[in-house]
Amino acid sequence: MKESRMQVAVVGCGYVGLVAAACFAELGHHVITVDNDQAKIAALNAGDPLIHEDYLPELIRRHHGKRLLFSMDLAGAVRQAQIVLIAVGTPADASGEADLSYVETATREIARAINGHKLIVEKSTVPVHTNAWIQRSMVFNGCSTSDFDVVSNPEFLREGTAVTDFLYPDRIIVGVRSEHAACMMKELYAPLLDGTYAQQPDAVPPPDDALAKPLYLETSPETSELIKHASNAFLAMKISFINAVSAVAESANADIEDVQIGMGSDKRIGTRFLRAGIGYGGSCFPKDVSAFRAIAQSCGCDFTLLDEVQRINQEQLNRFVAKVRKTLWTIKGKRLAALGLAFKSGTDDIRESPAINVIQDLLSRDCQITAYDPAAMERARAVLGNAITYAPDAYAAMDGADALLLLTEWKEFASLDLSMVKRLLKYPIVLDGRNLYTPKEMAAAGLNYYSIGRAPLELSNPTPGRVRTAKMS
């Protein structure tokens, strides 16, 4: 692969910024990643990738000190760069709108450091018209419109597979206003657009469903911004739809797993995000649905469908907690084993995690919780503190518990030794918020099984498990 060797500055060492920086370095560009958090920069320079993400540690080790640098000097990074990516946080404020104060601060500092033409790439998830506001802010802070171009280039990364999503994308969306900006963006992504990256012997392995070449769509900045929010809102809606159907399935004594197969086999619908569970979470969907709802209102559009998406997502959590209460008769003082703390498998992110929300609800009802997660224990400890017990492994978590709750879809939780589960639990009760097992498997193991969108499996003559003790961390 011929190295493009463009000079890139990435403002923000969060999830999007860090993955983008490592991947652009992997594509041959020289990248300086900037953040004002001294501890974060020190950790990155010491080799700590900060987040749990497949292939990210390898890319940082491969390029750190060569094509990938970490710094607190934003002005210096901007001066060296041809392209400046804004990848700062845009959290939701109290009204649900995106808080763009970090974007504004980054823009102001970029404007003050400009020493020649810069291509400013809006990578953060932002409301429509943010691109225009960035351009306006640049001018207000002393820049001429000939000094810069502003481009919208939203990310479509899934936590847990972010690196492969970046290097083998299904689409790259670029919102541009000038031919010069369009040419620079094509050069930035050239190794992905012409397929040369994937041909390299040390390339990150492609996923099974990788496209030979991604769709490359050039459009207006406003359209590009809208694509991002509309995409996330639609996926959240798809999850909420199947969760609403799961409630009907339980009442009708139907099987939501078969419903999902039947619906997903229709190519117009597809199987992705059509899986019932305890709801969506993470850093994107909750925030982006709220922000998109606020955008629609500001445009004078009545988009109440998004209100229903949010309501169903919360109701799904409430229904699961109610199921726990109904199954255990009384839950005050009961000790429950919770497997899963991250909002999904493959990540240590607990932001808006349904698992954490379920645990907090149960704690408010005087339950005792012993939990285990392969990656998210430390992050959960920062939120839950000593309110729960942290187990060293899945089996230690369930030892002597009154019931087992499956809250995150980690692969290792889908392949437990069910005979061991039966022996360790005080009562043979499993409540599966992710439908990781079939009722047939649980019946064979002698476990009472309660899942999402399926009839409960209640054994006529259940026998209790053998109570044992284990030392917890």
Sign of CA dihedral 388, 392, 398, 401: negative
**% helix, strand, coil for the chain, step of 5:** 45, 15, 45
13 is catalytic: no
Give me the residue label for tokens 């207000």: 140
Residue 81 to residue 119: CA distance in whole angstroms: 9
**How far is C-alpha 448 from the chain's CA centre?**
32
Q: Which residue of the set 183, 284, 299, 367 is catalytic?
A: 284
Buried b (16+ CB within 10 A) or exposed e, 111-129: bebbeeebbbbbbbbbbbb
CB atoms within 10 A of CB 38: 9
First to last CA, the chain: 48
At 403 the three-state DSSP class reads strand
Give me the residue label for tokens 């012409």: 194
Helices (H), 71-152: 74-80, 101-113, 130-140
* Sequence-distant (≥ 6) Cβ neighbours of residue 127 within 8 angstroms: 97, 98, 100, 225, 229, 291, 294, 295
Residue 291 to residues 238, 303, 314: CA-CA distances in angstroms? 18, 12, 17
Phi–psi pair at 389, nearest 5 degrees: -100, 135
Contact 117, 123 (CB under 8 A): no
**Max Cα distance, the chain (Å):** 79
Q: Give which of 219, 250, 191, 226 is closest to 23, Cα–Cα.
A: 191
At 429 the three-state DSSP class reads strand
Strand 83-86 to 335-339 pairing: unpaired
Structure tokens at 158: 């899934």
Residue 401 to residue 371: CA distance in whole angstroms: 11
Residue 274 to residue 141: CA distance in whole angstroms: 47
Which residues are catalytically annotated? 284
